[in-house]
Structures are given as structure tokens and as C-alpha cells.
Chains A and B, each alone.
Chain A
Amino acid sequence: EDQVTQSPEALRLQEGESSSLNCSYTVSGLRGLFWYRQDPGKGPEFLFTLYSAGEEKEKERLKATLTKKESFLHITAPKPEDSATYLCAVHYFGNEKLTFGTGTRLTIIP
């Protein structure tokens, strides 16, 4: 069974303290890996799609990278407004659905 595992479950950082979130996945048949941001009580908001190992995408203080078995979401000098749950999802060939991880709840303390 395809699995997506995110770590850590929760992360508290001081404002300006950089860190990384991890998403590991079942390796074979990857079509694309997605990162979403979700604020409390709202639907997930699309951040990035990565397709192949070595690929990187950036948006403001966030950078997503992909290796053959995992993806990282790096957050540089975070601000309190970056506090949210970050979800990773994988799309496998031959399967129409996305498989989601359970997310990392990120809290940035002013």
C-alpha cells in the first residue's frame, strides 16, 4: 500500500529560526508530489508540485526539494504568519487519487 509519512507531527520555532519539514513516500510509480498549506478551519491551499528527484521550487520563505525517497519543505527565517499545517500528498501513476500525509503543524512564536 502506498504510504506518505510526514515528520515531525508538530514543530514550534522562534521567529527567524529556519528549519525543515520532511515527507517520505513509497518510491515506485511517483507521478508528482504536492505540498499544501492549511489554516485552521479552511481547505488546503496549493504551494508546490515536484515531479522528479533533484527538482526544487521556491516561494517567498519556502523551498521544496525532492529526492528519490523523500521531500523537504525548508522554511527560512519564518514569520508568525507562516504558522499553519503543511500537508504533503503524492500522486502515483495508475491511481487517480492523491495519498496524503497527516501533516506537520508548524507554529512560529514571535
Chain B
Amino acid sequence: DVKVTQSSRYLVKRTGEKVFLECVQDMDHENMFWYRQDPGLGLRLIYFSYDVKMKEKGDIPEGYSVSREKKERFSLILESASTNQTSMYLCASRLNRGGRGNYGYTFGSGTRLTVV
């Protein structure tokens, strides 16, 4: 089974800090995604990456950046954390080789970030 591992389950950071959220997948998936999940708003896409060193903005990229130096690792960076970035952050990956049944998303277990 594909495994998507997020480095922290819970994080507490101070306003203005630079925050790194790490995600690693172990099945050679090309595509990786960062979502945030908030009550009543569902999952919203922050950034995604088609392949190494490639990135695309999602629906809510403001205040975030990403890095993908290796295929298996996709990092989300909060340049200067703010209280409105308190949320559950979810990383996902998927295969991108076409064909039915080959493009389901696999999610990590999430990082609950609190900015104080």
C-alpha cells in the first residue's frame, strides 16, 4: 500500500515564525498536493506539484510556498505564520500514468497546526 507520511501530527507555532510541514510518499507518485481543512469549508487546495521542481498554485496559495526537490518529498512552507493559518493540513499523492483506477489520491494522516 502507498504510504504518505506527514512529519508531525500536532504543531504549535508563534505568529511570525517560519513553519515547515513535511510530507513523504513511498510509491514513486508523480503528483503531490497540499490541502487545508477547516470546519464548514471542507478541503481547499493550497499548492500541488506535477513532478520534481514543479509547482502550481491551488485555490488558496497566499501566505504559503512549497518545495519539491525530490520526487518523494513535498514541503509546505508558511513564510510568516498567522493565526488564520491555524488548521488541519493534509498532504496527498497520486499516480499520474492514466488509466482507470490509477489516479486515486492517498492522503497522509494530517498535521494539526495551531498558531498562537
Contact = CB atoms under 8 A, between A and B. Distances in A.
B31 A98 contact: no
A43 B4 CA distance: 10
A31 to B, nearest CB: 8
Contacts of A103: 42
Interface residues of A, number: 21
B64 interface: no
Range, interface on chain B: 20 to 34
A102 interface: yes
B103 A32 contact: yes
Which of A42, A43, A45, A101 has the most CB atoms of chain B within a 10 A radius of its CB? A43
B66 to A, nearest CB: 14
Given A49-B101, A97-B45, A44 B33 contact: no
Contacts, number: 51
A66 interface: no
A41 B112 contact: yes
Contacts of A91: 103
A60 interface: no
A25 interface: no
A46 B106 contact: yes
A91 B98 CA distance: 13
B105 A87 contact: no
Given A96-B48, A98-B105, 20 more contacts: A32-B100, A32-B103, A34-B105, A36-B107, A41-B112, A43-B109, A44-B107, A45-B107, A46-B105, A49-B101, A87-B42, A87-B43, A89-B105, A97-B48, A97-B58, A97-B59, A98-B45, A102-B40, A102-B41, A102-B42
Interface of A: 32, 34, 36, 41-46, 49, 51, 87, 89, 91, 96-98, 100-103
